Amino acid sequence: MRDGQNSDVVVVGGGLVGALVTCVLAKKGHHVRLYEYRSDMRVEVSRGVSIDLALSARGREALRQIDLEDAVVNHHGIAMKGRLLHSKDKGLKEILYDSVHKNCIYSVNRSHLNRLLLDAAEKYPNVNLFFNHKLMDIDLEEGHLQFVDVKSGETINTNAEFIIGADGAYSYIRRTMAKRPRFNCNQTYIDHGYVEVSFPVGPDNSFIMSKDHLHIWPRGEFMMIALPNEDGTFTGNVFAPFATFEALDTPEKLISFYKDQFPDALDLIGEKKLVSEFFQTSPKTLISIKCNPYNVGSRTLIIGDAAHAMVPFYAQGMNAGFEDVLVLSELLDFHNNSLSKAILNFTKVRCDDAHAICDLAMYNYLEMRDLVTKKSFLIRKHLDTILHWLFPNEWIPLYSTVTFSRMKYRDCIYNKDWQDRVLKKILICVGVTIFAYIITFMIATRN
């Protein structure tokens, strides 16, 4: 085996990003062994991460690489064309994501997508999948790995030419990297948690709310959202400060809270179902992780949540993880399929963008739960829409660059900053013109 062709790669983590990178590397001719801690989800159902996924441009392009885009988007995704805001008096207000090009985001079931990706990986003859293998020890520089088979208790020692850590937000590989000098890492839990509550299917398997929208109940300090599922249900999530959840400690308080804040949702869910689901688990935490670098020499690399976990409010966690795989693939194309060169250059190419989307995701929580109800937000949104319609290639709003393009995340922020400056100048010009007009008018009328 030589670097550049038929390299021997171990991927740690069989979630979405781990399964995808396995496919992409296998397609490029590398030999990939995928080790996953959990059992094979296609055989044994285990309770996984709950928040629904919203697939957008970056994720779609990655799936296209392994010919899965069509299967996911057109056969299993539910197109959402915009946000539908629910007010306290049960009023509805639609805010389209992209009224110019009519782009949509797609509600996708996480475990379904994961199964698809594992199936696709397994079809490559140069791929081996190992489930129930928990990583116990790793030598990041030498490429030694020690796993334990959690079913048999057997210890497995192995070596790899290259290691890709796609082992999620609580990555063992990142934690091992964090012990090395000059590894920077910032792990932040926000003061808000979330609780899942599902909306039932309607009569004749119909949807009880519009299935073409991401539903939001924005309430300032907290919010509820709901995404449609293929089976007609909606998965709802309440995001709120932990203190708010702690105060809702009885069914009576919860129902009174819903009557006050989300009355239409209460009608749809029903009191009994709400109480039973809400108190089933305690509120889950939300973590944001930024680190640097993503590689150890030219052998080991972390990608996806292992490298940059983010809060879910821009729906870019999976999309950014999938784009990591695209970036890696592009680096391999550039470097004649040399994994060592791709790994060595990955951090430089990707890290600033990953940090940018972590920041944007944090900001978008504020937008979703609070700003969307503000006049200033809606005026800006209209201005953006008009300008985007007039200059479709020159004036692209922030949400569109993030969600419907592959503009580098960092550049999405620069682009927004540039637009802010332009709008500010336009407003000043308009102000000065009006002022000049009034003065001229006053002088004219005086004479």
- Residues lying near its own copies in the complex (CB under 8 A) are found at 170, 175, 178-179, 181-189, 285
Which of the 8 DSSP states describes residue 232? Answer: S
- Cβ atoms of 291 and 184 within 8 Å: the answer is yes
Q: Quick one: 178 or 428, whose CB is closer to its own copies?
A: 178
Count the alpha carbons within 13 Å of 149 in the hemisphere toward its beta carbon. 9
Q: Quick one: 178 or 426, whose CB is closer to its own copies?
A: 178
Residues 304 and 175: their CA atoms lie apart, in Å, by 15
Q: Quick one: 70 or 191, whose CB is closer to its own copies?
A: 191
Number of H helices, E strands in the chain: 15, 20
Shortest distance (Å) from residue 188 CB to its own copies: 5
Shortest distance (Å) from residue 291 CB to its own copies: 9
What would the two tokens of residue 123 be?
């079809």
Cross-strand pairs, 237: 196, 225
Shortest distance (Å) from residue 179 CB to its own copies: 7
Shortest distance (Å) from residue 181 CB to its own copies: 5
Q: Quick one: 138 or 402, whose CB is closer to its own copies?
A: 138
CA distances in angstroms from 427 to 214, 379, 382, 422, 431, listed in the order given = 32, 13, 15, 9, 6
Q: Quick one: 13 or 193, whose CB is closer to its own copies?
A: 193
Shortest distance (Å) from residue 293 CB to its own copies: 11
Shortest distance (Å) from residue 184 CB to its own copies: 5
Residues 167 and 183: their CA atoms lie apart, in Å, by 18
What are the backbone dihedrals phi and psi of residue 385, each rounded to the nearest 5 degrees, phi first? -65, -45
Q: Quick one: 181 or 203, whose CB is closer to its own copies?
A: 181
Residues 323 and 354: their CA atoms lie apart, in Å, by 10
Residue 234's SS3 state is strand
